[in-house]
Amino acid sequence: MAQTKERPKPSLIPEYCKGCGRCIGVCARGCIAFSGEINHLTGIAPVVLDLEKCNACGLCIDTCPEPYGLLGLEQGLHFEPQDPAKLFGEKKGAAPVPVAIPGEKVALPKTEPMVIKGNYAAAIGAMLAGCRHMYGYPITPSSEGAELMAKFLPKLNGWYLQAVSEVATINHMYGTAGAGLPTMTFTSSPGFSLMVEGISYMIGAGLPAVIVNVMRGGPGLGNIAPEQADIKFACRGLGHGNTHAICLAPSTPQEVLDLSMDAFELAFKYRNPVIILVDGYLGQMTGKVNLPDHLVKPGIPEWAVYGDKSHRGNLISSIDLTEVDLEKRNERICAKYDSMKADARADSFMAGDAEILLVACNTPARISKGAVQDLRDMGIKAGLFRPITLWPFPVEQLKSVLPSVKQIVVVEASAGQLENELRLELNKAGVEKFPKMSHVRRMGGMLPQQADVVAHVKSIA
Ligand code: SF4
Ligand code: SF4
């Protein structure tokens, strides 16, 4: 006669339970519930069992994703926290002092220029700067950047991950940046909005990263046409707390490539994210691009939580729970922001003797340059001032061209965000009497036109 064996009831090893609740869902007899009490060894609240009504169906054991979470009673194990000293022996000597592994520049042969889109130029610049870890959630009009990196990075021993969302993207970047590795993402305005909490965390923890925001029409979903409506956001609204980042505004595909290389250098120099603001037109526009004469093989900074012996003991954190400590961290961050002013950059065109100064960045700066040429042909002393860093704003460079200027005209594809930056920075720099200011603005995906700029300047000249 065949012998029957009783099925075992479940037993729980709380230290292996992650509190997912799957076992609760499958138990038809209501034998399992959340405990609400945190296990001091794991920091997680495991479930609790009451097996009075249990019929030993085994469903909870089968459904538990943890190999040692729920086991049959017969196989029940006891969890004994192990003393690391017994397992690995006593620690000998002091922990190693982390040492930076230096990066290096590798010379590149001269090549023919390429004709590529701004988005591709940013991706190529990032790869030449040594970025091998790109995370993203594709969004028009930035997607070509991610697309190119998805093709190339696996061949370069790198990593492209399409994250589940922009929130996940920025947090993947946090982890990679913590290991001291160059990391980046491409996004566009609504995606950028979703990333700001993570950017604030990265600023708090002092982590370098590059975020390319190919700006599109807003607010909200807006459209996929070019706008410059994230200037205020990038310069003044990078998440909660005392947050700023260097914000670069290229105006040609060549400059997109050059600045995306520089962005990594700046991000590591200051241990802070760097934002590259590209308008949707520039992201999609093709232009002639020369490759630089070198590429960068990045090293590992001293502070990185990298997996080698020297860096393993490092810790990245922005948790300062006492008021005194958090104030000190913010003072250090403010001092860092002040030092970033040394990297404020600008470009100008015929601004030396200009009486009417156009101020513009991104694609509107190209349009304005054409307008300056037209106006000079008409005998009007016009010039262009183009901030390359929108934050920190190159106010000292602007002040140096102001003496001859009688009027400023801000040309932009937003409702006045660049003009607001300009007024605020002049005011903060103590320039009380600045020239009369007017503007040529378009929004919603419309760009200011060269003829509109010329007509406006003629009307005020
Ligand atoms: S063995 Fe079956 S009845 Fe018993 S606790 Fe698990 S799911 Fe519930
Ligand atoms: S399924 Fe396993 S890990 Fe999830 S709550 Fe139940 S015992 Fe814990």
Which residue is closest in CA terms to ligand 1's atom 8?
27
CB 173 within 8 A of CB 148: no
Atom 2 of ligand 2, residue of closest alpha carbon: 64
Cα of 16 from ligand 2 centre, angstroms: 8
Q: Which ligand is nearest to the CA of 64?
A: 2
Residue nearest to atom 8 of ligand 2 (CA): 17
Q: In this structure, what are the phi and psi dihedrals at residue 224, rounded to the nearest 5 degrees?
A: -110, 15
- pLDDT for the residue 85: 74
Which residue is closest in CA terms to ligand 1's atom 6? 60
> What does the alpha-carbon distance between residue 186 and residue 52 come to, in Å, rounded to a whole number?
56
Exposure of 443 by Cβ count < 10 A (0-12 exposed, 13-18 middle, 19+ buried)?
middle
pLDDT given at position 75? 62
What's residue 101's pLDDT?
96
Q: What Å distances lie between residue 415 and 112, 166, 444, 447, CA to CA? A: 40, 26, 10, 12
Give the per-residue pLDDT at 3: 62
CA of 89 to the centre of ligand 1 (A): 42
* Ligand nearest to the Cα of 67, by number: 2
User: Is the Cβ atom of 56 under 6 angstroms away from ligand 1?
Assistant: yes
Task: Find out whether the beta carbon of 20 lies less than 6 Å from any atom of ligand 1.
Answer: no
Answer whether 160's CB lies under 8 Å from 293's CB: no
Rg (CA), the chain: 29
Residue nearest to atom 6 of ligand 2 (CA): 23
Q: What is the pTM of this model?
A: 0.80
Domain assignments of the chain as residue spans, ordered by start = 10-75, 104-300+326-343, 346-460
* Å from CA of 18 to ligand 2 middle: 6
Cβ–ligand 1 contact at 55 (below 6 Å): yes
Rounded Cα distance between 55 and 50, Å, is 12
10-residue stretch averages of pLDDT, the chain, 461 residues long = 74 90 96 89 90 94 91 69 71 81 96 97 98 96 96 96 96 98 98 97 97 97 96 95 97 98 98 98 97 97 93 88 93 98 98 98 98 98 98 98 98 98 96 94 96 98 88
Nearest CA-CA partner of 344 in 297, 413, 285, 397: 397
Query: Which residue out of 12, 32, 71 has the highest number of ligand 1 atoms within 8 Å of its CB and is therefore the one to mutate?
Result: 32
Euclidean distance between CA atoms 196 and 233, whole angstroms: 10
Atom of ligand 2 nearest to the CA of 47: 5
Atom of ligand 1 nearest to the CA of 57: 2
CA of 74 to the centre of ligand 2 (A): 18
Q: Strand, helix or coil at 275?
A: strand
Q: What is the DSSP letter of 228?
A: -
Token duo for residue 78: 């006891």
346-460: in CATH 3.40.50.2300: no
Residue 280 Cβ inside 6 Å of ligand 1? The answer reads no
Mutate to test the pocket of ligand 2, among 49, 59, 66 (most ligand atoms within 8 A of CB): 66
* Helix H or strand E segment including 279: strand 273-279
If 0-12 CB within 10 Å is exposed, 13-18 middle and 19+ buried, where does residue 361 land?
Answer: buried
Do 10-75 and 104-300+326-343 show the same overall fold?
Answer: no
* Ligand with an atom nearest the CA of residue 42: 2
Residue 24 and residue 222: Cα distance in Å, rounded?
Answer: 44
- Is the distance from the beta carbon of residue 32 to the nearest atom of ligand 1 less than 6 Å? yes
Q: Are 359 and 385 in contact, with CB atoms under 8 Å apart? A: yes
**Spatial contact of 115 and 109, defined as CB atoms under 8 Å apart:** no
Measured in Å, residue 146 CA sits from the centre of ligand 1 at: 48
The CATH H-level (homologous superfamily) assignment of domain 104-300+326-343 is: Thiamin diphosphate (ThDP)-binding fold, Pyr/PP domains (3.40.50.970)
391 touches 246 (CB < 8 A): yes
Hunting for tokens 């994703």 — which residue is that?
65
Structure tokens at 158: 């790198």
pLDDT at position 222: 95
| Residue nearest (by alpha carbon) to ligand 2 atom 4 | 20
Looking at ligand 1, which residue's alpha carbon is closest to its atom 7? Answer: 27
Determine the Cα–Cα distance for residues 60 and 416; give it in Å rounded to an integer: 61
Distance separating alpha carbons of residues 201 and 76, to the nearest angstrom: 42
* H-helix or E-strand spanning residue 215: strand 209-215
Helix, strand, coil content of the chain in percent (nearest 5):
40, 20, 40
Residues in contact with ligand 2 by the CB-under-6-Å rule are 12, 17-23, 46-47, 63-64, 66, 69-70
Architecture of domain 10-75: 2-Layer Sandwich (3.30)
Residue of the nearest CA to atom 3 in ligand 2?
17
Q: Identify which of 254, 317, 265, 338 has the alpha carbon closest to the alpha carbon of residue 296.
A: 265
Q: Which helix (H) or strand (E) holds 167?
A: helix 166-178
Ramachandran class of 12: left when φ > 0, alpha when ψ lies in -120 to 50, beta otherwise = beta
Query: What secondary structure does DSSP assign to 244-272, as a single string?
Result: --EEE---SHHHHHHHHHHHHHHHHHHTS
Amino acid identity, position 61:
I
With a CB cutoff of 8 Å and minimum separation 6, the contacts of 229 are 189, 215, 217, 218, 219, 413, 414, 415, 417, 443
Distance CA 109, CA 124 (A): 16
CA of 114 to the centre of ligand 1 (A): 66
